[in-house]
Amino acid sequence: MEVIQVGWLSILPPLIAIVLALLTKEVISSLMVGILSGTFIYALCTVSGAAGVVVSTVEHTFTLMASKAADNINIILFLCLLGALVVVVTRAGGSRAYGAWAASKLRSKRSAQLATAGLGVLIFIDDYFNCLTVGTVMKPVTDKYGVSRAKLAYLIDATAAPVCIIAPISSWAAAVGSNLQGMGGFETPMAAFISSIPYNLYALLSLLLVVFLCVTNLDFGPMAKAEKEAAAGNLGAVETAAQVEQPKTSDKGRVFDLIIPVVGLIIFSVLAMLYTGGYFSGEGVSIADAFGNCDSSASLVLGGFGGLVVAFLLFVPRGVVGFRDFMDGIGEGIKSMVPACIILTLAWTISGVCRDMLGTGEYVGELVKHLQVPFAILPAIIFAVAALLSFSMGTAWGTFGILIPIVMEVMASTTNMALLTAALAATLAGSVFGDHCSPISDTTILSSTGAGCDHMQHVSTQMVYALAVAAASFVGYLVGGLAGGNVFLTLGTGIVALGLILAAKQLVARTKA
């Protein structure tokens, strides 16, 4: 299957999927229609005859779907293992015990939200792990203090991808580094990644906004409505059948029955990343290089299995959970992940349609490459293009995978390393925007799943916040670029711009009130 160039038609599939998702508030059918529209365009350009076009459309759709599922099978396995771990820990009473303990220590809605955000920041290894773990652990606490599930989903989402993209030890750092291999301008891919962190405005400002919203309890846009309804008792919870119909929770569970399996999951994941990265090979591979070269998805599978083994050894011998109940819990946990796995597979497929069939990224990237504009304003333009592309494709990794080579080529002739770093950071920041808030993003989907929140409500309530941060980031990159890539002016301008946007939002809200 070769990529064909169809110009502006290449942006139709993600556009159709996004519009339908927003209009119908139903993700699976919207993604399916978007995929079929893309394979139909491809078939029209490569096959003759009406019957051939129809057959080719269906054939390419399911061939690509199977291919993407196979390519990402480790992610699906990890989700199943994590779902199993969540259910068995819940059955053991670990989540209940932790919720009771946290509720006794956290005395307000503010502290509950800050604790949720803090836990999200601490789980920096991978965004998938973050999304599902934080929601499961913190739901009982946030429910107690009247935090809407939409707000919980936002706190999870805003501390998932935005944290991973600035964490040197994470699956994201490995992905970015793999795309920087062989690129000039930096000593090593890891050095390039680390140097981009202070310039990654979208990630840093997202975290700053999270802290502000948690501390002040001030919300605006659709989130304010969701929080008002939560205060009246309607949290907006949407649980799966598997979660609702779980057998009774063991009364023998203790807080460590949650903490030890989660810590085991983290430790085994880190060790697995070092293992797959060659650290234990005896060839003198450093820890940083091992993390940079690791197979993150395979490592997470090993870590998930390790966490499940720890849970078995912790629960069954003590009689907290019986052997049969433990095994039944594994099955229930896997079933609870089926909807997320379906949506993820469709999201990967539409990303494949855009990248592997229609060349959506190349089309948009070439528009940027051939713009005759000064280097000084390129970081802002790159950020905007990356944000638009990632929102359309629903993937940060796919976006920076396409744009990094183009951006580095465009910026190759500049001798200003600060400006080059700002351009790289703008690429990563714009990529995170779509991963954070696009309705077809896997992280967005998993955040709503982990929080037990309606997916489209999560998208609509957090969109205003994401756009506010994106606008401030654009201003920061524009001013910083004109200042030659000065990191203090870049970050400082972004913070000031976000502050002004928040002040304007609050002024408008008070005027309406």
Of 367 and 142, the structure prediction assigns the larger pLDDT to 142
CA distance 313 to 92: 12
In three-state form (DSSP H/G/I as H, E/B as E, the rest C), the secondary structure along 205-271 is HHHHHHHHHHHHCCCCCHHHHHHHHHHCCCCCECCCHHHHCCCCCCCCCCCHHHHHHHHHHHHHHHH
Instruction: Output the pLDDT for position 158.
Output: 92
CA dist., res. 431 & res. 446, Å (int): 18
Measured CA distances, 373 to 37, 98, 382, 444, 492 (Å): 34, 55, 12, 34, 24
Range of the domain at 100: 73-185+241-339
The three-class DSSP label of residue 326 is helix
Task: Give residue 312's pLDDT band: very low, low, confident or very high (50, 70, 90).
Answer: very high
Describe the crossing of helices 360-369 and 396-410 by its angle, rounded to 10 degrees.
Answer: 30
Whether 280 shows a pLDDT value over 60: the answer reads: yes
Query: For residue 114, with 0-12 CB atoms within 10 Å meaning exposed, 13-18 middle and 19 or more buried, which class applies?
Result: middle
Q: Which pLDDT score, from 0 to 100, does residue 179 have?
A: 65
Domain-embedded: residue 153 = yes
pLDDT band at 374 (very low <50, low <70, confident <90, very high): confident
Contacts of residue 346, defined as CB under 8 A and 6 or more positions apart, other chains included, come to 27, 28, 31, 32, 35, 65, 440
pLDDT of amino acid 244: 38
Would residue 432 count as lying in a domain?
no
Per-residue confidence band for 313, with pLDDT thresholds at 50, 70 and 90? very high
Instruction: Please list the residues that pair with 453 across neighbouring strands.
Output: 237
Query: Looking at the predicted structure, is the pLDDT value of residue 180 above 80?
Result: no
User: Closest Cα partner for 382 from 494, 493, 473, 492?
Assistant: 473
pLDDT, position 182: 58
Q: At what angle do helices 73-91 and 50-71 cross, to 10 degrees?
A: 50
Please state the rounded mean pLDDT for residues 91-104: 75
Report d(CA 167, CA 180) in Å as an integer.
16
If you write DSSP's letter for every residue of 171-207 in order, what string do you get?
A: HHHHHHHHHHTT-SSSSSHHHHHHHHGGG-HHHHHHH
More confident of the two residues 58 and 362: 58
How far apart CA 130 and CA 157 sit, in angstroms, is 9
Q: How far apart are the C-alpha atoms of 42 and 332, rounded to whole Å?
A: 40
Does the structure show a pLDDT above 60 at 242? no
Question: How much is the average pLDDT of 200-207?
Answer: 95
Residues 6+ apart with CB under 8 A from 138: 102, 112, 115, 116, 119, 152
pLDDT of residue 245: 43
Residue 292's pLDDT is what? 64
- Mean pLDDT for the stretch of residues 262-285: 83
In a domain, 513, yes or no: no
Confidence class of residue 246 from pLDDT cuts 50, 70 and 90?
very low
Q: Does 184 or 345 have the greater pLDDT score?
A: 345
What distance in Å separates the CA atoms of residue 57 and residue 146, rounded to the nearest whole number? 48
Residues 426 and 89: their CA atoms lie apart, in Å, by: 40
pLDDT at 39 over 70: yes
pLDDT the model gives residue 465: 94
Tokens of 123: 């789980």
pLDDT computed for residue 285 by the predictor: 77
Residue 453 covered by a domain: no
295 pLDDT band, cuts 50/70/90, is: confident
177 within a domain of the structure (yes/no): yes
Is residue 79 within 8 A of residue 128, CB to CB? The reply is yes
In a domain, 170, yes or no: yes
d(CA 433, CA 382): 13
Residue 237 backbone phi and psi in degrees, to 5: -75, 135
Answer yes or no: pTM beyond 0.75.
no
Q: What's the structural domain count of the chain?
A: 1
Indicate whether 296 belongs to any domain: yes
Q: For residue 81, give the amino acid letter.
A: L
Share of the chain above pLDDT 70, in %: 87
Residue holding tokens 């057959």?
A: 55
Q: What is the mean pLDDT of the chain?
A: 82
